[in-house]
Copies of this chain bind each other. A is one copy, B any other.
Amino acid sequence: MGNSFGHTFSISTFGESHGGGVGVVIDGLPARLAIDLDHIQEQLDRRRPGQSRLTTQRDEKDLVEVLSGVEDGASTGAPLAMLVRNADARSGAYDHLRELYRPSHADFTYDAKYGNRSIAGGGRSSARETIGRVAAGAIAMQLLDALAKRRDTPAPRIVSWVDQVHEVTASVDPALVTIADVERDPTRCPDHDAAAAMTIKIEQARRDGDSLGGAVRTVVRHMPVGLGEPVFDRLEADLAKAMLSLPATKGFEIGSGFGAITMTGLTHNDAFVPGDDGMPRTATNHSGGVQGGISNGEDLVFRTAFKPTATISSQQDTVTVDNEATTLAAKGRHDPCVLPRAVPMVDAMAALVLADHTLRQLRNDVL
């Protein structure tokens, strides 16, 4: 239970950091979608460790194999399963962890819940599990593109970027930023100066045996009106769940978010103005593109908070599995800041939510 996401466009991920591999099964993908394997691999490469000196040096190719659901380059309507084999598992590197619980990791809770914990690389709680999400997210993006093309409308364009690392904040125009801007720098921060400052910060943290928190901001332009299924499956509720299901996340806000707390109705309300195409537009976008749980056609804007990587090489207090005090200094390879690699994960989860809600909305267009 708990390993599937989505109602009509639904994914189930499987696999852990050790064992045969990680993967995903997509159920609900419409037939006849041309599948672009290179695009899937590109998204996986954005997520992959070892892609820059800012990320862990675990060297994994993460080559994806499509096991089913595609014939002659197009989806068949059957479940589309994808597998990425595990490699480079140095399980010996984790021997010193057998007898203790790492602070702020899932070791203790997995042990308490399941009676086991996968020491080697984090098991199911490893960020490797997100490979299946990113691969499925790529297909969700392709579906959104194809649907928009069929309807002769611009496709929703999801762009996430590193908005903040510790105290370094980026200044980015959500109306203009592109994925190319984001990919220009290994930090995945499109503000050049902020990116430079973040790089210095991250490298310093690595040297200090420490790690840094941060935030990813996301904009979706060309949003269709009408996505979201109140009252529980509001668009922002499903996005919140999607983001909080990613490892290391601590918060989610949409539009004005926590800033709304100190606003008043007069400043927060988004006044409607007549739109050029006969549809109302809003003068401001504190709503973040959703009203009453349903997209209003304005840009979808949200932000996700990530905690500092739990694995640090500095010494920390902890306990053994027998509840005795001990200390730990992690030896393995790890990212001092998860933010750059979190960007494609956020993109993928956003795409999955949008694809699901696009298919769910079909029922309201039939009468």
Give a binary string over A70-84; 1 marks a CB under 8 Å from any B CB, 0 the rest: 111010111111010
Q: Provide the residues of chain B in CB contact with A3, threshold 8 Å.
A: 25, 27, 78-79, 229-232
Contact of A113 among B225, B254, B262, B359 (CB under 8 A): B225
- Least CB separation from A13: chain B residue: B231
Q: Provide the residues of chain B in CB contact with A323, threshold 8 Å.
A: 274-275, 278-280
Q: Provide the residues of chain B in CB contact with A65, threshold 8 Å.
A: 20
Q: Provide the residues of chain B in CB contact with A108, threshold 8 Å.
A: 272, 280, 291, 296
Q: Is B258 in contact with A305, judged by CB distance below 8 angstroms?
A: yes
Q: Provide the residues of chain B in CB contact with A283, threshold 8 Å.
A: 317
Q: Is B14 in contact with A293, judged by CB distance below 8 angstroms?
A: no
Judge if A89 is at the interface, Cβ distance under 8 Å.
no
Q: Is B232 in contact with A245, judged by CB distance below 8 angstroms?
A: yes
Give a binary string over A312-343; 1 marks a CB under 8 Å from any B CB, 0 the rest: 10101111000111000000000000000000
Judge if A61 is at the interface, Cβ distance under 8 Å.
no
- Least CB separation from A349: chain B residue: B232
Q: Is B31 in contact with A104, judged by CB distance below 8 angstroms?
A: no
- Least CB separation from A124: chain B residue: B78
- State in angstroms the CA–CA spacing of A307 and B210 once bound together: 36
Give a binary string over A10-29; 1 marks a CB under 8 Å from any B CB, 0 the rest: 10111110111111010110
Q: Provide the residues of chain B in CB contact with A4, threshold 8 Å.
A: 4, 10, 12, 27, 232
Q: Provide the residues of chain B in CB contact with A71, threshold 8 Å.
A: 18-19, 116, 118, 123
Task: Classify chain A: how many residues form its interface, as a range.
Answer: 35 or more
The main secondary structure of chain A at its interface with chain B is mixed
Q: Is A272 in contact with B233, judged by CB distance below 8 angstroms?
A: no
Contact of A166 among B251, B261, B324 (CB under 8 A): B261
Q: Provide the residues of chain B in CB contact with A8, threshold 8 Å.
A: 1, 8, 360, 363
- Choose the segment among A52-60, A152-160, A177-185, A263-271 that binds chain B (4+ C-beta atoms closer than 8 Å): A263-271
27 contacts between A and B (CB under 8 A): A2-B230, A2-B234, A4-B232, A67-B83, A76-B114, A78-B114, A101-B272, A104-B286, A109-B294, A125-B292, A210-B264, A236-B244, A236-B249, A238-B241, A240-B243, A240-B244, A250-B253, A251-B253, A258-B258, A260-B305, A261-B306, A264-B308, A265-B311, A266-B314, A269-B312, A272-B317, A273-B319
Extra contacts besides A77-B113, A265-B309 (18): CB < 8 Å: A1-B363, A3-B231, A9-B363, A12-B79, A18-B71, A31-B364, A32-B367, A72-B116, A77-B116, A83-B83, A104-B287, A106-B292, A109-B290, A113-B225, A129-B231, A261-B305, A265-B314, A268-B308
